């Protein structure tokens, strides 16, 4: 039994899609979420910059005495997870391994598309992980840097569809049957993406596998919570905007986010 919270970090609001799945799967667990909105998007930064920003969020979560840390951000997972795991004791759970496993299982024609930020795509992390599970799978990777800021901007469906259409244009004619949403912001515009790629394409949200894997780890190590925990929310950006959007996405009208400068404790 371990009542310490689960820590989650993201560059912005997208990681709330992972948090939602974790809360549903593990309803007794306390959580601490930090969204580094002041520095998003991470996808157009250098690997070194992403590592440094992620390290600051990790330090903040460690100050909250978390028992595990979920990198609810594909860019941070691709650029910083391996480096930072060597520096800290709590286990880090990333989204890329989970998404890759799901995609490899789901595809029927062994053709998978992956969309994500520049850093995630240029790391080829998804391609490596998917091919590790099945070398016969052909992976098409596409950087879609406009989509995460689009989600944060909270535009209407029609506007979103136009931006998604432009972003995915180069995938026309590719015979994939599965698409990995390689940024935790993207499930929020899943309907818009499906509108463009077609309803027959299976969209993979890595958050489902992350929640299951987190449960497996906590059970294995005897770290499941023994009592109902609370949820804390922090942002380096506008906490009023964060609170407004998080209340809607998590269906919690009482939710309140706090502002924090990473580096503070």
Containing H/E element for 206? none
**C-beta separation of 211 from 25 below 8 A:** yes
Question: 111 φ, ψ to 5°?
Answer: -130, 120
Phi, psi values for residue 109, rounded to 5°: -105, 10
Q: What is the H or E stretch that residue 44 is in?
A: none
Residue closest to 4 by CA, chosen among 33, 23, 31, 34: 31
199 annotated as belonging to a binding site for a ligand:
no
124 marked ligand binding residue: no
Torsion of CA 131, 136, 137, 142, to 10 degrees: 70
57 is in an annotated binding site: no
- Known binder of ligand: residue 263? no
Consult the annotation and say whether 184 binds a ligand. yes
List active site positions: 73, 183
Bridge partners, 257 (sequence order): 233
Q: Is 10 annotated among the ligand-binding residues?
A: yes
Query: Is-contact 72 14, C-beta < 8 A?
Result: yes
DSSP at 184: T
- Is 233:33 a contact under the CB 8 Å cutoff? yes
State how far the alpha carbon of 124 is from the alpha carbons of 54, 74, 121, 223, in Å. Answer: 19, 12, 5, 33
Instruction: Give the residue ranges of the annotated binding site.
Output: 10-11, 42-43, 74-75, 184-185
Binding-site residues for substrate, please?
10-11, 42-43, 74-75, 184-185
């Amino acid at each position: 039994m371990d009542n310490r919270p689960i820590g989650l970090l993201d560059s912005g609001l997208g990681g709330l899609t992972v948090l939602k799945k974790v809360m549903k799967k593990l309803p007794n667990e306390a959580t601490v979420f930090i969204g580094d909105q002041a520095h998003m998007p991470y996808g157009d930064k250098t690997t070194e910059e992403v590592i440094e920003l992620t390290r600051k969020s990790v330090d903040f979560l460690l100050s909250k005495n978390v028992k595990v840390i979920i990198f609810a951000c594909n860019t941070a997972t691709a650029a910083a997870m391996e480096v930072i795991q060597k520096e800290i004791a709590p286990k880090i759970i990333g989204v890329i391994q989970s998404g890759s496993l799901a995609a490899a299982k789901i595809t029927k024609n062994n053709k998978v598309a992956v969309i994500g930020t520049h850093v995630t795509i240029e790391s080829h992390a998804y391609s490596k992980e998917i091919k590790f599970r099945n070398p016969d799978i052909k992976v098409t990777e596409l950087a879609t840097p406009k989509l995460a800021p689009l989600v944060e901007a909270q535009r209407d469906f029609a506007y979103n569809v136009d931006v998604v259409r432009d972003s995915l244009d180069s995938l026309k004619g590719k015979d994939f049957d599965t698409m990995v949403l390689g940024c935790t912001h993207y499930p929020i515009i899943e309907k818009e993406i499906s509108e463009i790629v077609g309803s027959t394409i299976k969209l993979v949200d890595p958050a489902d596998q992350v929640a299951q894997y987190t449960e497996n780890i906590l059970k294995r190590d005897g770290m499941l919570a023994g009592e109902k925990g609370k949820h804390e929310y922090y942002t380096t950006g506008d906490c009023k905007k964060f609170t407004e959007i998080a209340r809607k996405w998590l269906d919690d009208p009482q939710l309140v986010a706090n502002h924090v400068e990473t580096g503070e404790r």
